[in-house]
């Protein structure tokens, strides 16, 4: 694969979650984490999974990533069953999970180095391109501990984008950041998603965040983890998290979320 193709981006993938169930068994109890979840996600769609903690949304993300296996059902990515983690589905976690023994460029190149068919010089070019995209080209040689929380997540984003995945899976990636940094990242992620169209599955418990980013918000309930309702968000982009229309959608979804929680009393 040539450098140019590498920088152009691959077509995003279609995901299909087919009747997935999962239980967690401990010696004291069995938790029904996911109950017959079925979900189709289109090529290039931005989907947010929202729900109370413990509703299984992160578990579903792990299953899509191939980091966990479902007890029943399966996940298809471009009509191929997901059996293990793969280069076309990269994950961003709540913690940046950057490797402290590598500098920023080294971290961005980690996934790239596992990709055959590229010369090291080309890998460097690709890393530079993505560091530029997330606005951190000046920090190419910085050590991980020198970065702020927001910068670390930008590096993690560049690291996930660099190997050119078709799907980006994000597990509450901004939950640990302050509000200002988060708002900056919302606009960054929208800008980047416009340029590098990926299928994105984004897990959050922040409804506004979900409405700001997603084409479709999927509401989960817990005990057992089920899909309760889906909301299309037809707002124009780029979206501002403080806009009134966005707040109206968020209010509607929050009310639905509360309604479901009242139906079944929570037990943590």
Partner 1 sequence: MRRASLATLFFVILVAIWHFIVRAGIWSPVLLPSPQSVGEYLVGAVRDGTLLEATGVTVRRLLFGYLIGIAIGLPLGLFTSASKFAEDTIGVMALGLQTLPSVCWIPLALLWFGQTESAMLFVVIMGTVWSVVIATDTGVRNIPPIFARAARTMGSRGLHKWTKVILPASLPFLVSGMKQGWAFAWRSLMAAEIYVTILTGFGLGHLLHYGRELQAMDQVIGVMLVIITIGLLTDKILFSPIERFLHNRWGTGLR
CA distance 92 to 111: 13
Q: How far is the CB of 200 from partner 1 (least distance, A)?
A: 15
Interface positions, 73-92, toward partner 1 (CB under 8 A)? 85-87, 89-91
Helix (H) or strand (E) holding 221: strand 216-221
Q: Which of 3, 10, 31, 67 binds partner 1 (CB under 8 A)?
A: 67
Which of the residues 144 through 203 are near partner 1 (CB under 8 A)? 144-146, 159, 163
Least Cβ distance, residue 165 to partner 1 (angstroms): 9
Question: How many residues in the shown chain lie near partner 1 by CB under 8 A?
Answer: 26
Give the nearer residue to partner 1 in terms of CB position, either 109 or 257.
109
Question: In this structure, what are the phi and psi dihedrals at residue 252, rounded to the nearest 5 degrees?
Answer: -60, -45
Residue 40 in contact with partner 1, rule: CB under 8 A: no
Q: How far is the CB of 160 from partner 1 (least distance, A)?
A: 8
Instruction: List helix spans (H) across the chain.
Output: 3-8, 57-65, 104-113, 120-133, 149-161, 179-195, 207-213, 244-263
- Contacts (Cβ under 8 Å, ≥6 apart) of 79: 14
For partner 1, the closer of residues 41 and 211 by Cβ is 41
| Backbone angles phi and psi of 36, in degrees to 5 | 50, 60
Residue 28, token pair as written in the block: 């004291």
Q: Is 97 in the site for partner 1 (CB under 8 A)?
A: yes
Question: How do 80-81 and 199-204 pair as beta strands?
Answer: unpaired
Q: Half-sphere exposure of 212 toward its Cβ, with a 13 Å CA cutoff?
A: 22
Q: Contact between 24 and partner 1 (CB under 8 A)?
A: no
Of 101 and 119, which CB lies nearer to partner 1 in the complex structure?
101
Residues within the interface to partner 1 (CB under 8 A) = 65-67, 85-87, 89-91, 93, 95, 97, 99-102, 110-111, 114-115, 143-146, 159, 163
């Amino acid at each position: 694969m040539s450098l140019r193709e590498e920088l152009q981006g691959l077509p995003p993938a279609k995901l299909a979650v087919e009747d997935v169930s999962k239980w967690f068994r401990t010696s004291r109890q069995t938790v029904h984490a996911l109950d017959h979840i079925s979900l189709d996600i289109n090529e290039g769609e931005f989907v947010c999974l929202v729900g109370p903690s413990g509703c299984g949304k992160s578990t579903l993300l792990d299953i899509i990533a191939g980091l966990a296996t479902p007890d029943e059902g399966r996940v298809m990515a471009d009509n191929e069953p997901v059996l293990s983690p793969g280069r076309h589905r990269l994950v961003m976690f709540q913690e940046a999970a950057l490797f402290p023994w590598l500098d920023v460029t080294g971290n961005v190149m980690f996934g790239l180095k596992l990709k055959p068919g590229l010369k090291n010089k080309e890998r460097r070019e690709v890393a530079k391109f993505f560091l530029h995209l997330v606005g951190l080209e000046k920090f190419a040689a910085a050590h991980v501990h020198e970065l702020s929380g927001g910068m670390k997540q930008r590096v993690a984003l560049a690291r996930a984008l660099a190997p050119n995945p078709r799907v980006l899976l994000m597990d509450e990636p901004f939950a640990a950041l302050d509000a200002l940094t988060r708002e900056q990242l919302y606009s960054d992620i929208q800008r980047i998603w416009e340029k590098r169209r990926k299928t994105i599955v984004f897990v959050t418990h922040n409804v506004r965040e979900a409405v700001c980013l997603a084409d479709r918000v999927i509401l989960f309930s817990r005990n057992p983890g089920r899909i309760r309702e889906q909301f299309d968000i037809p707002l124009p982009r780029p979206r501002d998290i403080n806009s009134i229309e966005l707040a109206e959608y968020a209010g509607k979804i929050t009310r639905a979320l509360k309604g479901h929680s009242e139906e079944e009393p929570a037990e943590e």
